[in-house]
A = this chain, B = another copy of it.
Amino acid sequence: MTVEEQVRQARTASRRLASLSRGRKDEALELIAEALRRRTGEILAENAEDVALARASKLSAALVDRLYLDEDRLMETVVGVREVAGLPDPVGEIQEGRRLANGLELTRVRVPLGVVAVVYEARPNVTVDAAALCLKSGNAVVLRGGSAAKHTNRMLAEVVQGAILEAGLPAEAVAFIAGPREVLLELVSLKGLIDVVIPRGGEELKELLAEHSRVPVIAAAGGNCHVYVDAAADLKMALAVTVNAKCQRPGVCNAAETLLVHRAVAGEFLPLAVAELTRRGVELVVDRATTDLVSDPRLKRANRTHYETEFLDLKLAVRVVESLDEAIEHIATFGSGHSEAIVTGDLGAAQRFVREVDAAAVYVNASTRFTDGGQFGLGAEMGISTQKLHVRGPISLRELTCLKYVAWGDGQVRS
């Protein structure tokens, strides 16, 4: 079967999914979870094959680790599927509605997008996570995983499709596509058949889609996030927020990459911050104002590139600013529009920061690390979007839907 035929079948199946009640969808999710549990042995056997091939072809240890599944990791995925079943159904939500002057009852109803393509790389759990989120939001899904995980992905897709059939739903609603780069390019040329493509992978994959996709793309983005310690900050709170934003999990997109400190508190705050952060193993790259205030041989001088970089590591750029304006300007110049935090007790400063900083999430007196579907109470997600159209922030169930106007009348015509 060609890629286009598979996608057409998924499109046909999507029309059935769109009308399903929550009960039917949750039942299917439960059957998927159960099948994954029951067929753990088979799945791990296929995974062992992928891992052996990856090792034989000398893939990096990090990549092999991303590929690797064991019973614990698979059970996390099973738990994830059950969590999706527990989330409210976004489909059918009436976002707003009113009776117009002519008597038309106008509502705006949440409906599935239709067919979602998810393009990913090594992690085989995405196969199941993406299928569960798309099924719950009433969308058919076309999965295109990386070649390194092909045995695992094929087995996972088979298990998911089997469970969907068992639930009395069309197995074509979860399409699995393998093959070279040309296949991917064909897939993202199918405008009109696929409603959105979501890349889950590195910058290279995202660039490829930005360049070639005719289908709209929603991409989870990286984050160059800042913590700004204002003149009116509670310095103990500022230290706790900075340490949490940098150290709690440095390798993720909502971790802080630059610390901005107002000149008025820099003399008191920076020695504390430098001591605590270096104690926790954070490498600091700082401006001249910081070295003027703190003499520590471990401090390295920052250049423009450091302020532009998402380190994703125990490394933090530091800069002293003369004013709130300078902090906002720095963030406008270097930020990636992900998550930005101010620590302050000054209401006016907080209000200006909240209004003037342009990002998916802006925090007052809290760590940037909260930008996350689970933390926001939205449940599982497919990453954090920093684009402005359609979805800004966690790409969760609701973001896999769109709105449709429905008008109920009794013969209204326009005069």
| Chain A interface (Cβ < 8 Å from any Cβ of B) | 15, 18-19, 98, 100, 104, 106, 111, 113-114, 195-196, 210, 214, 216, 218, 234, 237, 240-241, 243-245, 248, 332, 350, 354-356, 358-367, 369-371, 375-377, 387-390, 392-393, 402-415
Contacts and interface: CB of A to CB of B under 8 A. Distances in A.
B234 A361 contact: no
Given A196-B389, A359-B404, 9 more contacts: A18-B355, A19-B356, A111-B358, A244-B413, A248-B414, A363-B407, A364-B406, A364-B408, A392-B402
15 contacts: A15-B358, A18-B355, A98-B377, A104-B370, A106-B377, A218-B389, A241-B411, A359-B404, A362-B404, A365-B408, A365-B411, A366-B408, A366-B411, A366-B413, A392-B405
A165 B376 CA distance: 42
A407 B27 CA distance: 35
A299 to B, nearest CB: 24
Given A366-B104, A409-B365, A332 B15 contact: yes
A360 B404 contact: yes
A402 B414 contact: no
Contact of A362 (B210, B358, B375, B406): B406
Given A364-B409, A377-B98, A408-B365, A392 B403 contact: yes
Contacts of A98: 377
Contacts of A361: 404-407
Given A216-B387, A332-B15, A390-B389, A367 B412 contact: yes
Nearest to A369: B414
Contact of A406 (B354, B367, B412): B354
Nearest to A248: B414
A72 to B, nearest CB: 22
B15 A414 contact: no
A362 to B, nearest CB: 5
Given A392-B402, A414-B248, A414-B375, A366 B15 contact: no
Nearest to A249: B414
Nearest to A328: B15
B362 A412 contact: no
Nearest to A413: B244
Nearest 3 pairs between A and B by C-beta? A366-B409, A244-B413, A369-B414
B407 A19 contact: no
Contact of A356 (B15, B358, B413): B15
Contact of A367 (B214, B371, B414): B414
Given A360-B404, A389-B390, A405-B376, A240 B367 contact: no
Contacts of A389: 113, 195-196, 216, 218, 389-390, 402
Contact of A412 (B15, B113, B366): B366
Contacts of A405: 360-362, 371, 376, 392-393
Contacts of A412: 365-367, 370
Given A356-B15, A402-B388, A411 B362 contact: no
Contacts of A237: 410-411
Nearest to A241: B413
Contact of A244 (B114, B332, B414): B414
Contacts of A409: 363-366
B362 A407 contact: yes
A94 B404 CA distance: 21
Contacts of A19: 355-356
A371 B409 CA distance: 13
A245 B407 CA distance: 15
A371 B404 CA distance: 11
A392 B113 CA distance: 11
